[in-house]
Every structure is written in structure tokens, then in C-alpha cells.
Amino acid sequence: MDRLRFIVRLALLAAVLGLDLLLASCGGGASVASTGSGGVGTGGTGVSMGTVTGFGSVVVDGTPYSSATPNYYAGNDQSESAPTTATSVELGAQLSIALDAQGNPSTVTINPELVGAVVGLGTGGFSVNGVPVRINSNASAGPVTYYSGIPGLSGLADGMQVEVHGAVGVDANGQTYIQATLIEQLPASNPVTRITGVVSGLDLAAGIFRIDTTTIRIGTATSMSPAGLTLADGQVVNVWTSAPVGTDGSIPAQFVGIRSLQGMSGSVQAGGLVASLQGNQFTLSGIPVDAAAPALASTAAGLVDGEYVVVQGKVDASTGTVVATAIRAYAAQPAQVELKGTVTGFVNSGNFLVRGVPVDASQAQFLAGSATSLANGVYVDIVGSVGNTNVVSAATVTVRSAAPDGGTVDYEGTVSGVATTSSGTQFTLTYSEDGRTSTAQVILAPNVAFSGGTAAQLTNGQTVEIEAVNGTTVLTAYSVTFLKAAAASSSSSSSSSSSSSGSTDSSAPTIDTSGIVYGYNGTSFSVNGITIQVNGVQPSGGALADGVTVEVTFVQSGGVNLAREISLD
């Protein structure tokens, strides 16, 4: 695992070393101050760090990047950075994206700030591992807190295991806090601890330092990144371990990542909270920013500590300072949520998924099509917002007659005709589109990643969900997820099971959805805002519990959602 971490960091370093990026504007208006060199993402090589604000490509702080080209990495209970699929990226997640010479992402690393138990829950926030977490419901103050596997702030409870993504801030007393952009419920059995904050009380001889109230123990088994940097007080670090916080308030660090661009050169886009502001100098998540360019004078003069901004610039390799060429303040131009893709998990206009994100379009303005046009497989463009919940409220919806060439599509279906050709592995996917049965030819992309199975298990008859690039004659899949519920052996018995609401109707149309369980009480649970009766179904792959990820097939009968099949991921 240490070798994997080194390779991931080396790839990110190589992507920005000694290279340049022509910047393009990330959204105009008076809210953007620029020296004229634009924004990250249009060419060259660089790095982008910030908050996911949309999909269709992956949108980071309002700037879109292709979701089809990179290799993805995220932490699990074995490693702080392991290979994963594109569908692991969630709305509100914190990402580090390395860009190749064509401006396309080459690696995407998912970077949560905190993993651990909720403590001291109040109306404004709570703490995890001793680090305060602040809830944000004001779009002008930065990305609004989004919830996954929780209906909202009211769904949190002391002791609940959570993963928190957010922007690192420093208060007037020098204490680290996290302004949450995503809070995801984890299973109670979660073994992982993460903590992000400012290093203090470093004692290398004793092998300890502190982040807020938590003591971090380091030793010869601790991996440090980037290589060559020396740990020091005042640095912002991200610590990962597969051990819980001890009764003495300490953890043994298995990995310590220092937030630094020192030794790198190239172009950067970074979103975060202004801290340690002195004149036209400040930091974002520990990265120093120089906003002394004359064109930025008025913008820099108006900055305040704790303000969420998006900075674009170039790195001074000797200091790791980003010399800013553009600064965009959220206060003047809040980023809306943008979702482009195919509908899945369709229940009604008030409850469906786009790229795994629950959407409520019941009050939306339809710029093309109508609410009756919505169905699984229909391609939509959605602009909306998060209202401190786990649902995107659509302001506008555009229904497309077909997915555009190059667009991101998400289909669930059955595999047939698997063949290996000179172009790679190909197969036919049979899926539902707008109430009709459709087929598509699929070829696996060179960077394809699998979830819930392996390449060897991609055989005829398997039910899968693919994320792919739409082409004229073929879909190029870069993510393949094996859907266990659809192929569960329990389906024949569960279809005739009963609950207090009555037996399921075998003729009723089935609905499929997947997500994180919450509100489980033994007889029912919620997922994506839908309450589902267990209905006597025996889940495959484990036991139902809050925080676990499930695939569910259900039917609606008498106003009640009755499970047909349940499978744990």
C-alpha cells in the first residue's frame, strides 16, 4: 500500500512539475478579478483542487473536467488511497485532479478531511476527532453542505460514524475548523480515522504532534507525502489510520499528507477558505497565495478570513506559493449545482437520480420537454441547488431527445455478446430507455474500473451499471458496477413475501435504486429520500444497517414501497 501511495503522489507531482497551463476564465462577471491569463482546464498540464459542484463531466468549483479520462483513487479500510471508480465521486466531495498535456484529468484523488464519530452535535455543527465541523447553508459563503445517507442535519446524531469533506479554515484563535461541503454516514463498524488540521506542538524526538485536541503519533511505520518535505508546526496535514482515536485522545498515524506545492511548478486552481490574511497574502488549506498582482488589488483589498474563494495562478517552486492570476469570490457568484446525464432510479418527477445524485424536479421550470418526459435513460441538463439536504432541487430542466456525442451516460442493463477484439473487450447492453427496451454496443475504455466484481466476471447475463462516453455507434465505458440485487438468487422467494402492507403484486412494474441506508428500524429503511418496507426480504451480502450501501428493487402497492430484492454492496 505504501508503494501505491507513492505512485499516486508521484503521478500528481509529475503532472505539475516544470510545466505550464494556459488558463481560461471559470465564469465571468464582476466577481472574477484576473490578470488576463484565465482559468485551469483548457490545455497544458496542471492541478485543480476543490469542491465537486456538478456532474456530466466532473465539475469542480464551477469548472468542468472530463470524467472519462482519469484513474480514480479513494481511501478505504486498507489504504488511504486505493483504486476506485468514477462513481465514487460524490457531490460536495473534495478532489485533487492532475491534468495531462491536453488539459484532461489523468488522476483524480478523493480527499475527505475527517472520518470518525460525531461529537457535541448542535444547530451549527459538531466535531469529529476534536476538529470542529461547521454546517454551511448560505450559498454565498461557499458550497452548501450536502448530505449522503442522511436526510439532512436532523439525521445526524452523536456517536454516528461519518466522513466529512470540506474547506479547511482557521479561526481567530488559530484553531482549525472544517466548513463541510459533504457529510456522509458510514456504517457503525467503520474502522478508519482521518483528521485534517494545522500541526502544533511538534516533537520529532518523541514522535508526536497535535491537531486541535487530538495527539498524532508518528514513527518509522508512518508514510509521509510529499517525499522530501519536513514536517513542521503550522502546516496543514491530512492524517489517515485504520485505528480509532484512543482513550488518551491519540491516534497512530499510518499516513501523513502535507498540504504543500513546494518543489512544484505549473498552474493551479484551488478553492477554499481564506486564512491568515495579511494584506494581499493569505493561505488556502495551508497553501500560501500571493495576490499582489496589480489587477487583483481591489479584490485582494476586499478579502476577509473565512471567505470561500477560487484562486487560479502559478506555483513558485521554491516556496510552494501560488502567485494568483485570478480570484473568484463565492459571495459575488455562488456556484449552482449542474447535472448532465441520463436519468436512473426514476420514481416520479420529485424523485430520480442523475449520476447517483437524488433530484427533485417537481417545482422546476422545463426549458425543453416536460415532467412527463422524464424516465429512466432520458438525457437531461439540470441546474439547481442544495438546500442543506441530500437532494438537489432543480430550478431548470432541459430534456434532450438523445444523449449528445461525448456526453456522459449512465445505464443499467444486461450484458450479452461479450467478445475480445483488437479494439478491446466489447459487449451488448440491453437496458430500459424512456419506457422502451434498447440496446447499445459497449467497448471498455483503457482506464476502465470495476466495482462489485472483476473483468473476468463480465460475462453474458450479468446485470451491470455503466458510466460511459456516448458515441455515434458505441458507448465507451470507463466504469462498470456489477448489480447484485438484480441477479440475486432470492428474487423468486422474495417476490411472494408479505408484510403488514400486504403481498407484492407480481404484475406491478419494478423500480431500482441504490444508495446509503438511513432510518432503518427493522421493518423499513430510507434510501435517496424513499422509504422502503423490508417486506420480509432477506438481504444478500450482509445485514441491513444505517450507513451501508444497498441496491434495491421494489414495487409500489397501495402507496407503499415494498422491497422485492435487497443487496448490500
Give the pLDDT confidence score for residue 8 in this predicted structure. Answer: 40
For the stretch 190-207, pLDDT in tens is: 999 999 999 999 999 999
- Is it the case that residue 503 has pLDDT exceeding 90? no
User: Measured between alpha carbons, how far is 211 from 199 in angstroms, rounded to an integer?
Assistant: 6
User: Cell for 454?
Assistant: 472483476
pLDDT in tens, 32-43: 443 443 333 333
The grid coordinates listed for 301 are 483589498
pLDDT, one tens digit per residue, over 203-218 is 999 999 999 999 999 9
CA distance 152 to 204: 41
Per-residue pLDDT tens over the stretch 297-334: 999 999 999 999 999 999 898 899 999 999 999 988 88
> CA-CA-CA-CA torsion for 261, 90, 482, 373, nearest 10 degrees?
-140
Q: What percent of the chain has pLDDT over 70?
A: 88
| Domain assignments of the chain as residue spans, ordered by start | 1-335, 337-400, 408-483, 488-568
Q: Tell me how crowded residue 317 is: count the other CB atoms within 10 A of its CB.
A: 16
- Chosen CATH of 337-400 out of 2.40.50.140, 3.50.50.60, 3.40.50.300, 3.40.190.10: 2.40.50.140
DSSP code at position 503: E
Position 123 scores a pLDDT of 86
pLDDT tens string 433-449: 777 889 999 999 999 99
pLDDT tens per residue, range 478-501: 999 998 755 543 343 333 333 333
User: For residue 176, is pLDDT > 50?
Assistant: yes
**Residue 270: how many CA atoms within 13 Å on its side-chain side?**
28
Q: How far apart are CA 104 and CA 485, in angstroms?
A: 35
Tell me: the pLDDT tens digits for 338-350? 999 999 999 999 9
pLDDT tens digits, one per residue of 122-172: 988 999 999 999 999 999 999 999 999 999 999 999 999 999 999 999 988
Q: How far is CA 271 from CA 89, 326, 422, 445, 561, in A?
A: 17, 12, 43, 30, 41
Q: What is the pLDDT of residue 259?
A: 93
Taking the C-alpha atoms of residue 461 and residue 487, their distance in angstroms, rounded to an integer, is 9
What is the phi/psi pair of residue 565, to 5°? -140, 140
Identity of the residue numbered 521: N
374: which DSSP letter? -
Beta bridge partners of 114: 164
Share of the chain above pLDDT 90, in %: 72
Which region, left, alpha or beta, applies to residue 332 given φ > 0 means left and ψ of -120 to 50 means alpha? Answer: alpha
pLDDT digits (tens, 9 = 90+) for 60-103: 999 999 999 999 999 888 888 899 999 999 999 999 999 877 77
pLDDT grade, residue 452 (50/70/90)? confident
- The arrangement of secondary structure in 488-568, i.e. its CATH architecture, is Beta Barrel (2.40)
Between CA 294 and CA 291 the distance in angstroms is 8
Residue 16 has pLDDT above 60, yes or no: no
What is the per-residue pLDDT for 13?
A: 40
CATH architecture of the region 408-483: Beta Barrel (2.40)
Cell matching residue 268? 493551479
| Identical fold, 337-400 and 408-483 | yes
**What does pLDDT average to over the chain?**
87
Nearest in space to 498 (alpha carbons), one of 507, 509, 506, 510: 506
Summarised one tens digit per residue, pLDDT across range 225-265 is 988 889 999 999 999 999 989 999 999 999 999 999 888 77
Tell how strand 176-185 and strand 131-134 pair up: parallel
Distance between CA atoms of residues 499 and 73, nearest Å: 42
